[in-house]
Chain A
Amino acid sequence: MEKLIDTLQLPKDLMLGALNIRLLGQYEAYIENYKSIIEYNDKTISLLGKNTKVTFIGEKLRIVCFSKDDMRIKGCLHEIKYD
């Protein structure tokens, strides 16, 4: 599947439904293509993607703004974990 998308030069994030995460240093994360929130508190934020789960671990985490497709997280990030 991945090979096919590569050969056809299609946008991967759309075709695979993969999470698109952009980090700004240690302080800010910008996430696209998520489905829902699994866990939310000031130390952990877990998000569900199409076929993965990603967890942000840190301190004083908060959601600055979000919409159906994207979300901005601020705080002091320590780890990013995929399950």
Chain B
Amino acid sequence: MEKLLRFYKGYVRVDVYSGNIERFLNMVIFRNICIWDITKEENYTYFYINIDDIYKLKQIIKKTKVGFKIRERYGLPFFLFANRKRKAFFIGFFIGWVIVYIMSLYIWNIDFQGNFKHTDSELYRFLEEINIKEGIKKEKIDGEKIEKAIRNKFFDITWASVDISGTKLTIHIRENINELDKDNEENDDVNLNEDKPGDLLSSKEAEIVSIITRSGKPMVKPKDIVEKGAVLISGKYELYKDDMTVLNERIVRADGDVVGKVTYTIDEVIERDFVKKVYTGKEFTVNKYILGEYEIASRLRFIKEKDKKYDVYTYNEQIVLGDSFYLPVFNEKMIYREYYLEDDIYSENMVKELANKKLMYKIKKIEENTIQILENNVKIEVDDKICRIYGQVTVLEYIGVFGGTYE
């Protein structure tokens, strides 16, 4: 900081030739003049002093009769003086500052914070409706008005706050999460039809292993084989009199655990020949700077050969000065990677590995709602052209699913 101040004010290096430097220094101390980095060479002493203080030295120099010379000049005043004839430089500098200042009067980036349910683009669209978009003048932004508009439009936003820092407009939002939960719960109710009476159905073709009924009337017994959609536990049951005539019929929501033996058949074929992407290692980068409708590309005449294929990666970012000074300039970087296609064939090991991976994935998916795997006799066979995965997996799982409500 001190150095910056010195640079701003300007300072000089002074050489002093004298036998009696001590007297000179004592007088400098006595007059409270600030000098620093005093170094004694063989026949002279040099030090640094602010240009404001140099006139105060004159009297001391007279009194002590020392030889005195200004050796070097540092700092802004000298720099400006040396460059006084370079008008274009100063004009450019000035125009630069003016442009930066004018730019800083507008908003160039809008950001939302704290939104979970409403997406950024949804809020952004709404802001556009009320004429708040990038490129608007800062002074035209009325924070309270925006906050009110947002709260009126979205009922579940309970709190909104508008904050401008630099050229970035940040809108902080608090959503009513309880309301969100309530919505979800309502949806769940509709889907599940909880408390409504109905049957428990089989979700799969299976052999019944065990059945535990909590409510309702069991319709199957162990070792029965059921189709998909068959009624496992009925929600209707009758109460009989002593003479076996029906007294009345009751309707409940059927509930229970039904475990079935389910067999999954796996039959998959992987072809051994495939098309491979081979990158040639050739790469082109096109840098584009986009300002509104204008754009400047670094490689205007990019030669794209017709019969060659390219992968294109595009990166797009807005240019920021510091943390929050967003400029209306976008940098688009496109990287072209050249490749060609080549026919290839999987080796036996490779194809086996691939098949294993596929099988593991399938079994994992089956396992998700399974109690136990009883039997797994899936085989992997490889011949010249294809690899075949086939076989059956037998598992125990809960097959009951609620459905078939009575109206």
A37-B40 in contact given A67-B32, A67-B34, A68-B32 (Cβ < 8 Å): no
How distant is the Cα of A37 from the Cα of B41 in the complex, in angstroms? Answer: 18
- The winner among B25, B32, B37, B38 for most chain A CB atoms within 10 A is B38
Q: How large is the interface on B (under 10, 10 to 19, 20 to 34, 35 or more residues)?
A: 10 to 19
Asked if A65 and B32 sit within 8 Å, CB to CB, the answer is: no
- The winner among B26, B40, B41, B45 for most chain A CB atoms within 10 A is B40
Q: How distant is A57 from chain B, measured CB to nearest CB, in Å?
A: 14
Tell me which residues from 14 to 38 in chain B have a Cβ below 8 Å from any Cβ of chain A: 21-22, 25-26, 29-30, 32, 34-38
How distant is the Cα of A82 from the Cα of B39 in the complex, in angstroms? Answer: 24
Stretch at the interface among A3-11, A13-21, A23-31, A39-47: A39-47
Asked if B40 and A36 sit within 8 Å, CB to CB, the answer is: no
How distant is the Cα of A49 from the Cα of B30 in the complex, in angstroms? Answer: 15
Asked if B29 and A62 sit within 8 Å, CB to CB, the answer is: no
Number of A-B contacts (CB under 8 A): 43
Asked if A36 and B37 sit within 8 Å, CB to CB, the answer is: no
Instruction: Give the A-binding residues of B (Cβ under 8 A).
Output: 21-22, 25-26, 29-30, 32, 34-41, 45
Asked if A64 and B37 sit within 8 Å, CB to CB, the answer is: yes
Asked if B36 and A64 sit within 8 Å, CB to CB, the answer is: yes
How distant is the Cα of A38 from the Cα of B21 in the complex, in angstroms? Answer: 10
Chain B residues with CB below 8 A from A64, complex form: 36-38
Asked if A40 and B37 sit within 8 Å, CB to CB, the answer is: no
Asked if A66 and B39 sit within 8 Å, CB to CB, the answer is: no
Question: Can you list 6 pairs linking A and B with CB atoms under 8 Å apart?
Answer: A41-B21, A63-B25, A64-B36, A66-B35, A66-B38, A67-B34
Given A36-B29, A40-B40, A65-B34, list of 19 further CB < 8 A pairs? A36-B22, A37-B25, A37-B29, A38-B22, A39-B22, A40-B22, A40-B38, A41-B21, A42-B39, A42-B40, A42-B41, A62-B37, A62-B38, A63-B37, A64-B36, A65-B35, A65-B37, A66-B35, A66-B38
Chain B residues with CB below 8 A from A42, complex form: 39-41
Chain A residues with CB below 8 A from B41, complex form: 42
Chain B residues with CB below 8 A from A65, complex form: 34-37
Instruction: Give the B-binding residues of A (Cβ under 8 A).
Output: 36-42, 62-68
Chain A residues with CB below 8 A from B25, complex form: 37, 40, 63
Please, which residue of chain A has its CB at the minimum distance from the CB of B46?
Answer: A62
Chain B residues with CB below 8 A from A38, complex form: 22
Asked if B21 and A40 sit within 8 Å, CB to CB, the answer is: yes
How distant is the Cα of A63 from the Cα of B36 in the complex, in angstroms? Answer: 7
Q: How distant is B29 from chain A, measured CB to nearest CB, in Å?
A: 6
Asked if A37 and B36 sit within 8 Å, CB to CB, the answer is: no
Asked if B29 and A67 sit within 8 Å, CB to CB, the answer is: yes
How distant is the Cα of A67 from the Cα of B36 in the complex, in angstroms? Answer: 10
Chain B residues with CB below 8 A from A68, complex form: 29-30, 32
A37-B22 in contact given A66-B29, A67-B32 (Cβ < 8 Å): yes
How distant is the Cα of A41 from the Cα of B18 in the complex, in angstroms? Answer: 12
Asked if B36 and A36 sit within 8 Å, CB to CB, the answer is: no
Please, which residue of chain A has its CB at the minimum distance from the CB of B26?
Answer: A36
How distant is the Cα of A37 from the Cα of B38 in the complex, in angstroms? Answer: 13
How distant is the Cα of A39 from the Cα of B35 in the complex, in angstroms? Answer: 18
Chain A residues with CB below 8 A from B36, complex form: 64-65
Q: How distant is B394 from chain A, measured CB to nearest CB, in Å?
A: 81
Chain A residues with CB below 8 A from B37, complex form: 62-65
Asked if B32 and A62 sit within 8 Å, CB to CB, the answer is: no
Q: How distant is A38 from chain B, measured CB to nearest CB, in Å?
A: 6
How distant is the Cα of A67 from the Cα of B39 in the complex, in angstroms? Answer: 16
Asked if A41 and B40 sit within 8 Å, CB to CB, the answer is: yes
Return the 10 tightest CB-CB contacts between A and B, nearest first. Answer: A63-B38, A65-B36, A62-B39, A36-B26, A37-B22, A42-B40, A41-B40, A37-B25, A40-B22, A37-B26
Chain B residues with CB below 8 A from A37, complex form: 22, 25-26, 29
Chain A residues with CB below 8 A from B29, complex form: 36-37, 66-68
